[in-house]
Amino acid sequence: MQLLVGGVKGGTGKSTLAANLGIERARQGKKVILVDADPDQESLSDYIANREEQKVAPSIPVVQVKGSTTARSIKALAEDYNDVIIDCGGFDSVELRQAALISHAWVVPLNPSQMQIWTMPKLKGVLDEANAMRGDAQLTGWLLGMRISPNPFSTAKEDLNAVAEAFPGFLTLRTIVHQRVAFEKAERLGLAVTELDKPNTSERRARDSIRQLYEEIFGSPNVNRFANG
94 CB burial (10 A radius; 0-12, 13-18, 19+): middle
Give all domains of the chain, ordered by start, each with its CATH number. Answer: 2-219 (3.40.50.300)
Whole-number pLDDT of residue 39? 86
Residue 148: pLDDT band with limits 50, 70, 90: very high
Q: According to the model, what pLDDT value does residue 229 have?
A: 52
Question: 91-94, long-range: CB within 8 Å, 24+ apart, which pairs?
Answer: 91/8, 91/9, 91/10, 92/8, 92/122, 92/126, 93/37, 93/39, 94/39, 94/67, 94/68, 94/70
| Mean confidence (pLDDT) of the chain | 93
pLDDT band at 60 (very low <50, low <70, confident <90, very high): very high
* pLDDT value for 152: 86
Sheet holding 62-64, edge to edge: 62-64, 32-37, 83-90, 2-7, 105-110, 141-148, 170-178
Q: Taking 90 as the threshold, does the pLDDT of residue 113 lie above it?
A: no
Residue 112 exposure: Cα atoms within 13 Å on the Cβ side: 18
Residue 102 has what pLDDT?
96
Residue 225 has pLDDT above 70, yes or no: no
pLDDT band at 20 (very low <50, low <70, confident <90, very high): very high
- Crossing angle of helices 94-102 and 120-134, in 10° steps, is 50
Per-residue pLDDT at 9? 84
> What is d(CA 189, CA 128) in angstroms, rounded to the nearest whole number?
39
Q: How confident is the model at residue 226 (pLDDT cuts 50, 70, 90)?
A: low
pLDDT tens string 177-215 = 999 999 999 999 999 999 999 999 999 999 999 999 999
Cβ count within 10 A of residue 161 = 15
pLDDT in tens, 124-138: 999 999 999 999 999
Percentage of the chain lying above the pLDDT 70 cut = 96
pLDDT confidence of 91, banded at 50, 70, 90? confident
Report, as an integer, the average pLDDT of 39-60: 94
CA 135 to CA 160: how far, in whole Å?
Answer: 27
Report the pLDDT value the prediction gives residue 227, as an integer from 0 to 100.
59
Assess whether pLDDT exceeds 90 at residue 70: yes
